[in-house]
Amino acid sequence: MLEQGYCGATVRDIVRAAGAPQGSFTNHFESKEAFCLELLIRYFAMVRQNITKTLRNDSLKPLHRLRQWFDIQVDFLRQADFRNGCLIGNFSAEVGAHSETIHAKLAEIQAEIHESVLYCLKAAVKSGELPGTVDCKELAHFLYSSLQGAILQAKVERSPLPLKRFIRIAFSTILR
């Protein structure tokens, strides 16, 4: 799914990659949509673990947590030489128009990510790392949207440079 996308990967591709007979797919999933929903849930479980270690980790300084979370994204994408992108972003661009069920799950996931970024930014204001005038809610939306855009651009360029640029500008001009 990360390599070929929702529309590009067939059930045959999925079972071949899993080394499973095609009949086993239909024994476990009623449709490709059901499989992708389960995949998204499992992927987000990994994302949630990273959020817990970083954005929601009150033992670290807030902006350090945010930076660590961004760095985890870069490291994950580096594993596939920036070819695959983020499943949440990929599905948001591709699947939302084809599946209301997956669209609803994506909206739920993005809301949870936003709340975690917001939590971290509010902590940064409280600790004095960011000025009290910062609109944390808007900034959280901006940062996540910009991160997803940088991930998409990194996928197109097959390079970490868009992500590095995003992180550098975010911390040198926005998060000061």
Separation between Cα atoms, residue 92 and residue 110, nearest integer Å: 10
The one-digit pLDDT tens for each residue of the chain (176 residues) are 788 888 888 888 888 888 888 888 888 898 889 999 999 999 999 999 999 999 999 999 999 999 999 999 999 999 999 999 999 999 998 886 789 999 999 999 999 999 999 999 999 999 999 999 999 999 999 999 999 999 999 999 999 999 999 999 999 999 99
| pTM for the predicted model, two decimal places | 0.92
Element (H, E) at 110: helix 100-127
Kindly report the CATH number that applies to the domain delimited by 40-174.
1.10.357.10
Separation between Cα atoms, residue 92 and residue 98, nearest integer Å: 10
CA angle 20, 105, 153 (to 5 degrees): 85
CA angle 154, 155, 160 (to 5 degrees): 30
